[in-house]
Structure 1
Amino acid sequence: MKFNKPFKQSGVATIAILLFVGVAISVAVFGAFRAVEGSQSQAMTFHAQTQAQRKAWIGVDITSKYLSSLSSDNLETLIEALPSKSDSELSQQKLNAEVGDENIQLYIYKEEVGGDVFVYAEITGEAAKNSKAHATSTIEAVFEMQQSSTTETTSCSVNRTAVMRGVTNLTGGGTNFISGDALSDIAVEGSLTLGSSSKSGISGCASGDVTMSGGGIKDNATLLVGGEFKVDSMSQPNNASVWARDINIGNTGSGDYNFLRAGAYTTTVLDKTGIVIGKGDVGGKLITSTTKSSLPWISGTLIPTKNIPFVIEMDTGGQLLVDLSEAIIDEVSGFVTGHKYEVLEGEGSLPSTLQFEANNISGGSINIYDLNVNQLWGHSISADGYGANYNTVLSNGDFNMGAGDIGTLVGGGNLTASKGGCNSSSNCWNTPSFASPSEIAGLFNVPSYSGSVDLNNLTQQVSHLSPGLPGIPFCDTRVEQVVAEDFKTSANYIFEEIGTKRQLTIQNVTLSDGTELDGVYNLLTDDMRSFNGQQFLTCGWGNNHCFRDYSVWELDGISAFPPGVAWFDSSLKINGVGSNNAVSGIGNDLLNTLITVGNVELTSSGHGDIIAPNFDVVTLCQGNITPTNLCNQSGELVGDDNSGLPIANSAIVSEESLDVAGWSINGHVTLGSGITTTGAKVIINGGLVVGSNSDASTTVGQGGLEVNTQNLSEDQLQTSCTNDNGTNESTGIQLKGSGPIWTRYL
């Protein structure tokens, strides 16, 4: 066997084949490397784009927060400075904000459409600068501006012991209003007369005149009066305060007052362009350079008061309550921004900038005699007598004074010593004395002496001197209208006439044995005197049926009436309560909220008290008859905090009036019309509202009326609101919503 030697070129071919295979492998490897590198580059570019978009959205958020944070006047200034959308140099107008990120660019401009203002922001985000993956993303965001206005639901908590809308005459000898620390006594819409009630005392406010011919002002109390405060006779107060349009105390005895204030400027209200938008009586001080009258100053541009709200009558017919407590007032121009307002009547709104031009005086007359007053402030002041003591006197006009002591006087007119006399300029008597340096714009004079007289610590004819006026207080008597139908679903017992059928609908009521009483019953045929042996509804001073012998809803001689909320579709008369066997341990009291479409009459026949259900929790929730919408299964009031259903804090809610003779009522009383008390004293341990549906009279007889909220808990002060009474507040222009109304990528 022979083995032939291989040809030499066979080795070369093998090497060539291996070489080609190696090259192919290298190409594949290098291709793979390039593919991986390209994929990584794509990933890096995609990531950079995502980061750029993220930066742009961060810029949108920054812009939203920036615009939201600006005050009204700063935002208005910014908007006025921005170019319009049609401007060709938008890129030169950058948002005036410190972004703190060099990868975010912000450009801002505006567009006005039909009175509405829209702010446009172009926000560009960048990522991976100075690299091949550099990316940008631009978002256009549009923000809408609006006049700042919010709607707030009126609080359902009692904030006045008594609100009386209409002519109010308090003549009962024991009339009294007693408030807790957070409440003031009364608010009267209209005039108030306090008559022969020598023991009565008041604090609070009235929109009209207040006439005192008996009683008095409580010690340390404040009485705000939209009209004249007039005293014929009254118990002299201790450290009381009166703020009114005019004050006439006269020679009615001594008294000690913290302050007596009266008067305002009659003003026209302008926007920032000088267009008249309304008028109002406003307190404040005139800008010296704008005064347009001889002494005393009564006209010019006003720096309005921040101390009290005031009403503007709009030229468009609306009535607005304006609050300047947080406003910004330019004391050079008088321009006012940052104000708040509420619509009282009609419709209307205020521009972001206001100005007040005074043209006359409203009220400001003060007539007193020998009082001790810490601050006396008005326009035309007459303080007669010989022994007065006034710590501070601010007289916008002339000041006529008898003999007495003054701490400091700032007078915008003349000072006259009405009791004084002089033999010479250096020998005078019965003239005021000044403890501290004082100034008047006019002259001091003594009527019986024609020469000039100088007084120690008094500088006369001081130029540019006027203390201004305090303003006229606003008495807020706004209450919710009573609509009995709104409470029908909350009632446990609904008494109504359907055609000729007098029926009772029972809702959410069980007996202690678990029996449910819900249903509709015919009061003329069904026996409602008891259920399963438990007395339920009996009258006639015994075990008789109720509501069978009368043409109205009359409870005559109650022997049993179930606890809870009772609703009546017309008037209700309660003529005596002998006992209440439906509620154990309550004697002859009623544990109810009584709601009526018509009047309520509580006669003087023998009776106990009316107690609002929530005011006696144990008896209500652990008795033999339980309203399950008022009480939970644990025997407590409903609610997460066991505060109870608010309507059950009321004892009487009526669309009409209340005629009551000598009852004690524990719970709130809300009346659509008036109230008349007769006989013995009427006591209401709760809040009282009179005239919520229409102005009505309040007449208190000789027995008197006591309304007391002093001992009520925070939960018991809650009442049931059925409507949302909004209050519109304006602080000028602001961002609408919390961000842009729309966005898009550019």
Structure 2
Amino acid sequence: MRGTQSQQLTTHSATAAQAAAWRGVEALRLYLLQVETSVWPGWVGNDAKPVSGLEALGVRAATVTSIEAAGSDHYRVSAQVIGTAGVGSALTTAIVEVIYDVVPGNGTPGIPPVCASMPKAPMVFNGNLDYSGGKLDVTNAVDYENIVVAGNLTIGGGSTARISGCVKGDVSLSGGGITDNGHLYSEGTIRINGMGNPNGTTLWARNVEIGSGVSGGTYTAIKAGAYAVGVYSGTALIGTAEVGGHLIASTVTGGTPWVTGTVAPLHSGHAVITLADQSQFLLDFSKQDSAGAPLLKVDATTGLVTGAAAAERLKGADSVSLPDALSFRSTRIAGGTVGLATLTVGQLWGYNVTVSGWSGKYETLWASGNIAMTSGTVKNLLGGGDMTVNQVSVSGSGWLAGNLNMPVNNVQTRQAGTSPGLPGIPYCEARVKPVDADNFLAMANYAFSTVDGAAQLTIRNVKRANGDSIDGVYPLNNPSPAQLAILQELMTCNYTNEKGCLKARQRDGSWLLHGVSKMPVGVLWFDQSVKIDGTSTDFLNTVVVRGCDDPSQATCGGNVTLTTAGHRDLIAPNFAGAAKVCGGDFYPTNLCASRTQLVEWEGQGPDGKPQTYQGLPIANTTVIAEGAADIAGWELRGSVMLGKQLSTSGATVTIHGSLTVGSNQTADTKISAGGIAVDVPSGGGLNLLPVCSTGSGGLPASPASASVQWSRYL
């Protein structure tokens, strides 16, 4: 069985090594694409040109072996790229020889891309979130999208959670509250039966239901509802969607309130189009080009939308495309029910609106359907149907398409063509990218693994202060005297009684770091679950944990446990700073440019322009696990990325960075004690995650091309 396990690990590693090599081939192509035209003539020849900066992609080496001119401003570039994966006896390499055809452009030179992207929000949960006790706070966020939930959100009466963000499913609040000047968007129904008084809050959903026990505070807006439409290309019905906007009067059929007709979409919000084959595309009506003009153009007279061919594909085959010109024909109302008692609201907008309480204040009240209002003061009123009132005053103007049960000053009834339209249903961007620990193995400084039943530690990219490398494979069961001496210098477990942490591997293949008083700085990688149980020193590490090849298995592992035993903090290398990471007795050379400076790399800044960052993105994280995490009251200075669920206990878990739960599968989270507090770092790139979005190219002023003409494995 051990032989089979070793063979499986080697096979998996070989595949991963090949994948790393091909990532390097593409990264090198992007690099060649950005080299200035003036540089190429001086590069012609057979002298080797190493290309650095690809280690973050799992590439050990990339070398341009020769460049020859193939015509005017045309070059043939030969190169070798080496990818690695695995550890110990399962360590494998893949070498790809490749020939590129390059036509240079004019512009600034680029550098190889580093995988980096911003999280969707400081907290992302790919599943349901049930919060019945403890904290759920985000501080220092640059905007108010603090939390994203891909399922349903339930906050109970015992919780002190204060949130702002979006939810794919339904929302139920009977405790906690909403961040001042924040918002809560839901693609389902928002139901609120109790919460702290909000200040400047916006609620937007399919339906909004606020119980009679909720009063006080101020709301910027409460809105709900969309038109359920057929999507047409010319006269052909090609799909369905739910769209915000207004009905074009000349196309309406039926009486009031208006339901059927052609919709002229709003110049904001999103719409998901589902085609007959279940392919899906996302239209973003707010997106603009560099000149500030909308990419999607809406003809207000006909409702025709152009520019749709550039919509993002959410689901479906690449061969399926969206026509550029679309029109939307409403067949029914999607949601649109708004119910509340007594509130102070800037804009109240839905289809059927019910206000059951007394003495509320509403700056604008829009309803495309009917209104039932017991009491309140309205400044501006617009209704597409009938209205029933008890004690209501309108201080500004009021227009109704239907009837009013009793006279109200300033309100005109039976006004043909009166309809405010509908706001649409918000789109919650909750997609996550999977966590694959093998992608980070090449960046690991200390990789703990089991090969043929034996525990070993593979050290990579680590030097002593004097510059001597200590890289190698260290068997933990029987290290040589020289290896043992190094291990004893590096780490100590069991409350100073076990220098070298030689007994860290457990019988079930998992790892236990118990009573740690010394641990080297850098990226720690484990091939199975790891438990950190008691520390008397800060961990200045990124902890990466691999699961099994089939993550659907119930006992797949890949988990992280941080116990309640006495401990210090877990601090990601970039948060610890260059002095502690690079200036010690041992230092990780892949994270440090020198003994006093972290590695620099170039990526896209918040303004879309190139920006230089210090510290590789992987060193912004404290935990990257393919499995779950069980954390008891720790302070983590760095982001946390989990493939499965999160459990907390004891005191509040504080994360300086971001939290992503359920990257590899839907993972429901239930928190009843302790809770989570996320503090968002400011500036310096500390928020970036080691997840690819786009590369970091240069700035070509005229088009360049670089393509692979030929390749083979060596």
TM-score by length of 1: 0.71
* Matching residue of 2:461: 508
* Matching residue of 2:223: 261
* Matching residue of 1:584: none
Q: How does 1:162-177 map to 2 (within 5 A)?
A: 162-177=123-138
d(CA) in 2 for partners of 1:613, 1:306? 44
Structure 1 contact 661–682 (Cα < 8 Å) conserved = yes
Query: 675, 678, 685: which one pairs with 2:646?
Result: 675
Kindly tell me: are residues 279 and 547 of structure 1, through their superposed partners in 2, closer, same or farther at Cα, counting changes over 3 Å? farther
Structure 1 contact 172–705 (Cα < 8 Å) conserved = no
Kindly tell me: are residues 215 and 530 of structure 1, through their superposed partners in 2, closer, same or farther at Cα, counting changes over 3 Å? farther
d(CA) in 1 for partners of 2:586, 2:134? 41
* Matching residue of 1:591: 540
**Matched position secondary structure for 2:122:** strand
Query: 586, 600, 621: which one pairs with 1:625?
Result: 586
Q: CA deviation at 1:479?
A: 2.2
**Matched position secondary structure for 1:235:** coil
CA deviations over 1:451-510 (Å, ceiling 9, x no partner): xx3221000000011111000001001222101100110110111111112111100101
**Matched position secondary structure for 1:243:** strand
Query: 516, 520, 531: which one pairs with 1:573?
Result: 531
* Matching residue of 2:242: 281
* Matching residue of 2:64: none
* Matched AA of 2:686: Q
Query: 503, 518, 521: which one pairs with 1:563?
Result: 521
* Matching residue of 2:570: 610
Query: 651, 656, 662: which one pairs with 1:691?
Result: 662
**Which consecutive residues of structure 1, in runs of 5 or more, have no partner in the other structure?**
1-151, 421-430, 446-452, 580-587, 726-736, 740-746
Structure 2 contact 116–693 (Cα < 8 Å) conserved = no
* Matching residue of 2:383: 411
**Which consecutive residues of structure 2, in runs of 5 or more, have no partner in the other structure?**
1-112, 287-293, 547-557, 602-611, 696-702, 706-714
* Matching residue of 2:429: 476
| Deviation larger for 399-408 or 327-336 | 327-336
Structure 2 contact 114–692 (Cα < 8 Å) conserved = no
d(CA) in 2 for partners of 1:697, 1:245? 23
* Matching residue of 2:407: 454
* Matched AA of 1:546: C
Q: How does 1:326-725 map to 2 (within 5 A)?
A: 326=294, 327-339=296-308, 340-347=310-317, 348-417=320-389, 420=390, 431-445=391-405, 453-526=406-479, 531=485, 535-544=489-498, 545-548=500-503, 550-551=506-507, 552-577=510-535, 579=536, 588-597=537-546, 598-617=558-577, 618-639=579-600, 641=612, 643-709=614-680, 711-722=681-692
CA deviations over 1:538-574 (Å, ceiling 9, x no partner): 2111231525262221111112211100111111111
Q: CA deviation at 1:318?
A: 1.0
Q: How many residues align?
A: 549
CA deviations over 1:169-209 (Å, ceiling 9, x no partner): 12232221224224620111010011234432000100111
**Matched position secondary structure for 1:402:** strand
* Matching residue of 2:78: none
* Matching residue of 2:265: 304
* Matched AA of 2:511: W
Q: CA deviation at 1:396?
A: 0.6
| Deviation larger for 362-371 or 547-556 | 547-556
CA deviations over 1:358-405 (Å, ceiling 9, x no partner): 000011001101100000000011011111111101101000001110
d(CA) in 1 for partners of 2:685, 2:322? 37
**Matched position secondary structure for 2:590:** coil
d(CA) in 2 for partners of 1:192, 1:594? 29
Structure 1 contact 506–517 (Cα < 8 Å) conserved = yes
CA deviations over 1:637-661 (Å, ceiling 9, x no partner): 0115451111010100011111111
d(CA) in 2 for partners of 1:154, 1:573? 28
* Matching residue of 2:711: none
Kindly tell me: are residues 471 and 201 of structure 1, through their superposed partners in 2, closer, same or farther at Cα, counting changes over 3 Å? same
d(CA) in 1 for partners of 2:173, 2:140? 21
Say yes or no: does 1:316 pair with 2:272. Answer: no
Q: CA deviation at 1:282?
A: 0.8
* Matched AA of 1:200: A
Q: How does 1:216-235 map to 2 (within 5 A)?
A: 216-235=177-196
Q: How does 1:176-195 map to 2 (within 5 A)?
A: 176-182=137-143, 184-195=145-156
Structure 1 contact 160–185 (Cα < 8 Å) conserved = yes
Say yes or no: does 1:270 pair with 2:219. Answer: no
d(CA) in 2 for partners of 1:351, 1:559? 63
* Matched AA of 1:550: Q
**Matched position secondary structure for 1:535:** helix
**Matched position secondary structure for 2:574:** helix
CA deviations over 1:17-53 (Å, ceiling 9, x no partner): xxxxxxxxxxxxxxxxxxxxxxxxxxxxxxxxxxxxx
d(CA) in 1 for partners of 2:183, 2:332? 27
**Matched position secondary structure for 2:173:** strand
Kindly tell me: are residues 532 and 566 of structure 1, through their superposed partners in 2, closer, same or farther at Cα, counting changes over 3 Å? closer
**Matched position secondary structure for 2:591:** coil
Structure 1 contact 611–666 (Cα < 8 Å) conserved = yes
d(CA) in 2 for partners of 1:313, 1:602? 44
* Matched AA of 1:244: A
Q: CA deviation at 1:434?
A: 0.5
Q: CA deviation at 1:712?
A: 3.2
Q: How does 1:33-182 map to 2 (within 5 A)?
A: 156-182=117-143
d(CA) in 2 for partners of 1:160, 1:531? 45
* Matched AA of 1:259: A
d(CA) in 1 for partners of 2:633, 2:311? 43
Q: CA deviation at 1:722?
A: 4.5
Structure 1 contact 442–461 (Cα < 8 Å) conserved = yes
d(CA) in 2 for partners of 1:660, 1:281? 41
Q: Which has the larger radius of gyration?
A: 1
Q: CA deviation at 1:154?
A: 9.5
**Matched position secondary structure for 1:343:** strand
d(CA) in 2 for partners of 1:276, 1:634? 65
d(CA) in 1 for partners of 2:585, 2:128? 45
TM-score by length of 2: 0.74
Q: CA deviation at 1:268?
A: 0.7
Structure 2 contact 641–659 (Cα < 8 Å) conserved = yes
**Matched position secondary structure for 1:487:** helix
* Matched AA of 2:573: P
* Matched AA of 1:595: V
CA deviations over 1:325-382 (Å, ceiling 9, x no partner): 3122222221111244111122332111000000000110011011000000000110
* Matching residue of 2:164: 203
Higher relative contact order structure (alpha carbons within 8 Å, sequence separation ≥ 6) = 2
Kindly tell me: are residues 161 and 533 of structure 1, through their superposed partners in 2, closer, same or farther at Cα, counting changes over 3 Å? closer
d(CA) in 2 for partners of 1:342, 1:186? 23
